[in-house]
Structure 1
Amino acid sequence: MEAKKTSQSKTIMTDLVLPPDTNYHGTIFGGNVMAYVDKVASIVAMRHSRAMVVTASSDSLDFISPIKTGEAICLEGFITYTRKTSMEVYVKVEAEDLLTGEKRLTGTSYLTFVALDENGKPTTVPPIIPESEEEQWHYEGAIERFEQRKKRRDARKERQNQKGE
């Protein structure tokens, strides 16, 4: 299977934060940000694999600063690494003051998706070719993040097995 460049699946989404999207502090609900992140990451994974995908894990969503009513929420996602049937996706969330053009980082997240064939079974995905320094940095750290996920899954399985005894 031929490798694909990161730019071939990179996805950018922007939306305006309105009062119904916010809490009593006038900042966007965290759950709304999570939904945006999952949506953008899903599009990235589908563009890369050209297959249906499911979210296998979300490592974290680190909230760095709030996004206020009237600001734009800007999300950028790209594939950071692939295995046989899975893809790690990085999503960066920024706020933009639409009057000044000032942007600030408000969140980051890594998610893992599995590509599915027409029968709902995992299917092979193309390798990724990182292009920028940022993409290369995420690519180089992917194996360590994969190992951390595996340890977390194994520990959870072990706890479940101990409870079942």
Structure 2
Amino acid sequence: MTHPITTFRFLAEPTDVNFGGNVHGGIVMKWIDQAAYACAAQWSKCYCVTVSANGIRFIKPIKVGQLVEINACLVHTGASSMHIYVVVKAGDATDDNMSVSNRCFITFMAVDKDGTPKNVPSYVPEDEIHMQLELVAMHAKEFAKELDNDFTNNIGVH
């Protein structure tokens, strides 16, 4: 299979703004989830559900009217899981210069019509950059497991 990258491009709208005059963080998280879902569904060829979002970073605010570009790239697979690296960029629509405003890893699981996990095709990194991204995704996966363990066993939160 070819390396899956999904790209969304659109303008940030006035309905996306928060009280501070920037695009609301929740809206950005929705965009991230949508782009990552499209990437996961294309890879697995089935319905997918969000499992987790790791390391979401809000680096630079997005202003209403800016051109927004979201790139979602598969970087690691498990048996039924797909780990996707998402980068959000924004800038003036009349300019070629866009800067990174957000980035994160988001994990999806492929499921059948009953919600049972389905196996997905294995992903093999194509180059050094994608090998490094896969290593970071695997580290994030292990960290998420440790965090779950801490909540359940050390704090007693279920």
Q: TM-score, normalised by structure 1?
A: 0.88
Structure 2, gaps ≥5 residues long: none
Q: Are 1:38 and 2:65 counterparts?
A: no
Match of 2:121 among 121, 126, 136: 126
- For residue 91 of structure 1, the aligned residue among 86, 96, 100 is 86
Q: Which residue of structure 2 aligns with residue 111 of structure 1?
A: 106
| Equivalent residues, number | 158
Alignment root-mean-square deviation, CA: 1.8
Preserved CA contact (<8 Å) 1:5 1:128: no
Aligned partners of 1:62 and 1:107 also within 8 Å: yes
Deviation at 1:15, TM superposition (A): 1.2
Q: Give the Cα separation in 2 of the matches to 1:38 and 1:19.
A: 20
Shift of 1:130: 2.1
Deviation at 1:98? 1.1
Say which SS state the counterpart of residue 27 (structure 2) adopts.
helix
Tell me how far 1:156 sits from its aligned partner.
Answer: 1.5
Q: How does 1:145-156 map to 2 (within 5 A)?
A: 145-156=140-151
Q: How far 1:163 sits from its partner (Å)?
A: 6.5
What is the alpha-carbon distance in structure 1 between the residues aligned to residue 140 and residue 30 of structure 2?
A: 22
Unaligned residue ranges in structure 1 (runs of 5+) = none
Q: TM-score, normalization: structure 2? A: 0.91
Q: Which residue of 1 aligns with 2:43?
A: 48
